[in-house]
Chains A and B, each alone.
Chain A
Amino acid sequence: MSDLNAVTTAEAPGPAANRPRHGSSPAKPRSLAGDAWLDLRSSKIFWISAALVAVILLMAVWPSLFTSAGPRDCVLANKHAAATSGAPFGYDFQGCNVYAKTIYGARDSLIVGVFATLIAGVVGLLAGLAAGYYGGWLDAVLSRFVDVMLGVPFLLAAIVLAKRLSSDPQSNGIVAVTLTLGLLGWTTSARVMRSAVISAKGQDYVAAARMLGAGAARQMFRHILPNSAGPFLVVLTILLGVNIASEATLSFLGVGLKGDAISWGLAIAEAGPSVRTAAGPLVWPSVFLAVTVLAFIMLGDAVRDAFDPKLR
């Protein structure tokens, strides 16, 4: 747009005016989420990752759809036996069907991973938002607390906390592990959120919102949060993978899942000692774990991009 145009034709319309829209009629009110959805619809990454996540969720909810064999139908005579049609991944040290175990392991792995991440996300979001927005002593207290938490060796804290939370010998440890990972994992996300909030808070649009009568809650959740959620979402998607893997670590150490729980972490832990004679029982759950984490990271990335209008 040249200044000459501006003189004669009032102001030339911005470049977007002539650009075709995403096929929606302009008369309909659109929201941020609506626009994001229009954007996501045309994203390949979104559909691939969403399909993967859907399959994994289906596995977790309805494992018998994928295999007729049971994860506990173990015959010791099958120890480390080769793959058959009913057991494409072969058999493990205990003569259990690796394929069935991996399919059935999705449920507990996902429950721990997703809920621990949700707990960490909610706590981290609120702590980071409050610290960044209010500043002052609240920020000082919260930030120092986060520093202290980050200073504690993760594994040591997790062992102590998980042990303490799972006092009931009958329980399978799912709740204890989820809480442990959730309560220890929020610190990084809180830190990231805090710094994003501080940079968004100083922007003129927050001052403009205040000028137009917005209160603290409205400024925080309507104006600051959508502008600072990007890095936070990335941290959370990474945390999801870390949590599923951490569950494996805790289970391996004997303070994680136990009893009737079946998870990828447990399977990996059990397969570790015999990896040199039979790699399959280690590799397959690891592959599922890696694909799950990747799917969630890709999904998080696609969603984050869709919510940023500048990338549209």
Chain B
Amino acid sequence: MNFDPQAPLLQVNDMHVEFRTRDGVARAVNGVNLILRPGETLAVLGESGCGKSVTAQAIMGILDSPPAHVTKGEVLYRGVDLLRLPEDERRSIRANRIAMIFQDALSALNPVYSVGFQIGELFRTHRGASRQEAKRRAVELLDQVRIPAAKSRVDDYPHQFSGGMRQRVMIAMALALDPDVLIADEPTTALDVTVQAQIMGLLAELQRERTMGLMLITHDMGVVADVADTIAVMYAGRVVEYAPVYDIYARPAHPYTKALLESIPRLDFKGRGLNVIGGLPPALTDIPRGCPFHPRCAYARDVCRQDPPPPAYQIASQRIASCHFIREVLGV
């Protein structure tokens, strides 16, 4: 594999993923474009069912096929299209170059092996380390993710750890082989709020130490504001807005982003009802014609209900939004 060190760390171009099921074809991802640079944190935001996790799993290449099929697009790691690589070469990319952490760490850790064994296994299979050496490295890693008394806990089983500790173990496993890209799929959703902050802090710290690219998938706007550099807002399998974090919060350009921001509960609105976005994201087997957000959109007009969906307009450098009425949304 000839990696191009000048090329972006990770670039996703026009990716389409569909699930062919008995009830029809679910188009989970419909032309996603993303770019991730070393040391950058890219947050992918959106409601449940917007294709965030599917995008992540398609990048990792761990979707079950069938029913999932990546029908179009490319996933470039340092200029090499992972989708065109043979499976064995792709396997060597995983964990070594790109790793991922899951939402529920308890189910992502194998219940029958001790955590030290599971981390050590990576060193033994990928690096040919001895059992002793693998164990030593596992303790080191547990220490790096701030597990207290790592040495005595290395032989414990996943169910003996608390929720936050499990996520730390998962992070240790993902970072064992020093990947350049870490995909975190809602890493804090299963945790309570105080532990969430610790885990996010840990991720940010580890990212700085290693200048990794971090792709953070979440639906928590609060988490994003602190750690992200760039935000991609997804809706119905498309990136509807892509912008630096400051711009998104200051001046959202897409009605969906705006509605998401307005639905964050605020202390100074105490006593008033919460702002919500009416309705649900569309079923992926039946995405509306035109702009998929139009049934829920306050700005929607006739043009929104007709194909083709709005193109991605470049607003500024590094700022893209896909809406016919960007000016009105921005208020200019």
Interface residues, chain A, with chain B CB atoms under 8 Å away:
1, 3, 6-7, 10-17, 21, 26-27, 29-32, 35, 136, 203-205, 207-215, 218, 222-223, 226-227, 307-310, 312
Q: Closest B-chain residue to A1, C-beta based?
A: B162
Given contacts A13-B148, A307-B112, contact A3 B159 (CB under 8 A): no
| Residue B157 at the chain A interface, CB threshold 8 Å | yes
Within 8 Å CB of A29, what residues of B? 116, 120, 131-132, 135
The answer for the CA separation of A226 and B66 in the assembled complex, in Å, is 25
Given contacts A3-B194, A29-B131, A207-B102, contact A14 B112 (CB under 8 A): no
Within 8 Å CB of A212, what residues of B? 94-95, 99, 122, 173-174
| Residue B275 at the chain A interface, CB threshold 8 Å | no
Chain B: residues with Cβ within 8 Å of the partner, total of: 56
Q: Are A227 and B110 in contact (CB under 8 A)?
A: yes
Q: Are A6 and B102 in contact (CB under 8 A)?
A: no
Given A213-B125, A226-B113, A310-B159; 11 other pairs, CB 8 A cutoff = A6-B195, A10-B148, A11-B165, A16-B157, A17-B149, A31-B117, A204-B104, A207-B102, A210-B94, A213-B91, A309-B114
The answer for the CA separation of A227 and B91 in the assembled complex, in Å, is 23
Give the contacting residue for A6; candidates B113, B148, B157, B194; CB below 8 A.
Answer: B194
Q: Are B102 and A204 in contact (CB under 8 A)?
A: yes
Within 8 Å CB of B195, what residues of A? 3, 6, 11
Give the contacting residue for B112; candidates A30, A136, A226; CB below 8 A.
Answer: A226
17 A-B pairs with C-beta separation under 8 A = A1-B162, A3-B192, A3-B195, A6-B192, A16-B156, A26-B151, A26-B154, A32-B114, A210-B62, A211-B62, A211-B95, A211-B174, A212-B99, A212-B122, A213-B94, A222-B121, A309-B111
**Min C-beta distance of A115 to chain B, whole Å:** 28
- A-B complex: 5 closest residue pairs judged by Cβ atoms: A16-B160, A204-B108, A204-B107, A212-B95, A213-B94
Within 8 Å CB of A309, what residues of B? 111-112, 114, 157, 159
**Min C-beta distance of A145 to chain B, whole Å:** 22
The answer for the CA separation of A226 and B111 in the assembled complex, in Å, is 9
> B151-188: contact bitstring with A at CB < 8 Å (1 yes, 0 no)?
11111110111101100001001100000000000000
